[in-house]
């Protein structure tokens, strides 16, 4: 930020565009606006018991913790503690890994991470690495947070949650699944008969990725007042080619990064696309906006249960 500030970029924080400041005001004051707020709408889990207390989006758990660590005041009712709890993290990505590390530091009684997909191979298939470039090759990875301590299970599909009689989550019910290719070569999931079981769970962290940008506020205003076009998945629509590259359906408004293409597996360099989005602004000076400043045998071999 210091480098960007030295180059003339002005930063305005604690301002939710579309709520604290109308987008129309920015469009009136600037020649171009670049939407690069990322994909922040978390994927939810629509199963019985989802509303029980103790089931949270992992980012809510992490955000409150990240504020309290450097001394920012976080009310107790807004702070989610894993101390002394059986924690289940649903999702095998970076956010889930952060949830594991933070839960360990809180002093969780146990930490279990579950993933619906097959266990990746120990080493990548070299024959498949090149066609998939620049995506990471598919192979098993263990983060530093996972090394600190957790049980990892794959091929697990959450079916429902149980409560303790007072509305607090107490268990996660699941079934094991397998993945097989159909006649068209597409992977299809099927449940393994008789594999139903459960995990103790006092705290459940949902870390299953993000589905699209947050619509409330900025995008809602642009859609209602200016007809902003979204793609079928709810991302801001905009091409990357031609003289109007990165421009949205609104003249002078551009979109870059995960806000346009959705959250990818692993973080891509959003700054690169943001730079391209700025260059697509026909030479004008844009303003960039953001919504808000152990190993266990539970892993099963690829193809499901054998």
Concatenated DSSP letters for 191-243? E-TT--EEEE-SEEEE---EEE---TTHHHHHHHHH---B-TTSPBP--SSST
Enter the pTM of the model: 0.76
Q: Which two tokens stand for residue 39?
A: 């994909």
Lowest mean pLDDT among 25-29, 48-52, 92-96: 92-96
What does residue 111 show for φ and ψ, rounded to 5 degrees? -135, 125
Task: Tell me the average pLDDT across 254-270.
Answer: 66
- Residues 63, 11, 15, 207: what is their CA dihedral angle, to the nearest 10 degrees? -30
- Is the per-residue pLDDT at 296 higher than 60? no
* Domain spans in the chain, listed from the N-terminal domain onward: 15-40+212-289, 44-208
- Cα-based angle 16, 42, 107 (whole degrees, multiple of 5): 100
- For 186, counting Cβ atoms within 10 Å of its Cβ (0-12 exposed, 13-18 middle, 19+ buried), the class is exposed
Residue 209 region, left (φ>0) first, then alpha (ψ -120 to 50), else beta?
left
Q: Specify the 3-state DSSP secondary structure of 1.
A: coil
- Is the per-residue pLDDT at 303 higher than 60? no
Task: Tell me the average pLDDT across 136-149.
Answer: 73
At 128, the pLDDT band (50, 70, 90 cuts) reads: low
Q: What is the mean pLDDT of the chain?
A: 82
Distance of CA 106 to the CA centre of its chain: 22
DSSP letter assigned to residue 100? H
State the DSSP H helix or E strand holding residue 3, giving kind and residue range, or none if neither: helix 2-6
- CATH class given for the domain over 44-208: alpha beta
Distance of CA 153 to the CA centre of its chain: 20
User: What per-residue confidence (pLDDT) applies to 241?
Assistant: 83
Neighbour tally for 97: CB within 10 Å: 23
User: What per-residue confidence (pLDDT) applies to 149?
Assistant: 77
Task: Tell me the average pLDDT across 84-90.
Answer: 96
- Residue 28: partners with Cβ closer than 8 Å, 6 or more residues away: none
Distance between CA 13 and CA 30 in Å, rounded?
A: 18
User: Which range, 68-72, 138-142, 163-167, is most confident?
Assistant: 163-167
Q: Specify the 3-state DSSP secondary structure of 125.
A: coil
At 182, the pLDDT band (50, 70, 90 cuts) reads: very high
- Is the per-residue pLDDT at 234 higher than 50? yes
């Amino acid at each position: 930020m210091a480098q960007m500030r030295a180059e003339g970029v002005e930063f305005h924080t604690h301002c939710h565009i579309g709520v604290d400041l109308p987008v129309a005001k920015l469009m009136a004051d600037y020649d171009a606006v670049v939407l690069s707020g990322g994909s922040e709408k978390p994927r939810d889990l629509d199963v019985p018991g989802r509303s029980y207390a103790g089931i949270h989006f992992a980012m809510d758990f992490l955000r409150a913790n990240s504020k309290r660590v450097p001394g920012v005041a976080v009310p107790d009712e807004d702070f989610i503690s894993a101390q002394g709890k059986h924690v289940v993290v649903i999702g095998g990505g970076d956010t889930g890994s952060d949830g594991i590390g933070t839960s360990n530091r809180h002093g969780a009684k146990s930490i279990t991470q579950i993933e619906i997909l097959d266990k990746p191979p120990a080493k990548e298939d070299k024959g498949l690495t090149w066609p998939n470039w620049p995506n990471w090759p598919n192979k098993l990875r263990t983060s530093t947070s996972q090394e600190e301590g957790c049980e990892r299970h794959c091929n697990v599909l959450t079916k429902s949650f149980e409560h303790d009689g007072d509305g607090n989550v107490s268990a996660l019910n699941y079934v094991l699944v397998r993945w097989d290719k159909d006649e068209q070569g597409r992977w299809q999931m099927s449940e393994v008969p008789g594999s139903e079981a459960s995990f103790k769970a006092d705290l459940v962290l949902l870390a299953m990725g993000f589905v699209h940008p947050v619509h409330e506020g900025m995008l809602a205003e642009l859609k209602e007042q200016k007809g902003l076009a979204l793609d079928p998945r709810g991302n801001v629509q905009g091409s990357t080619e031609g003289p109007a590259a990165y421009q949205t359906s609104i003249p002078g408004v551009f979109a870059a990064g995960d806000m346009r293409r959705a959250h990818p597996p692993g973080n891509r360099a959003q700054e690169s696309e943001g730079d391209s989005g700025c260059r697509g602004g026909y030479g004008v000076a844009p303003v960039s906006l953001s919504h808000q400043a152990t190993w266990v045998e539970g892993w099963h071999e690829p193809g499901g249960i054998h």
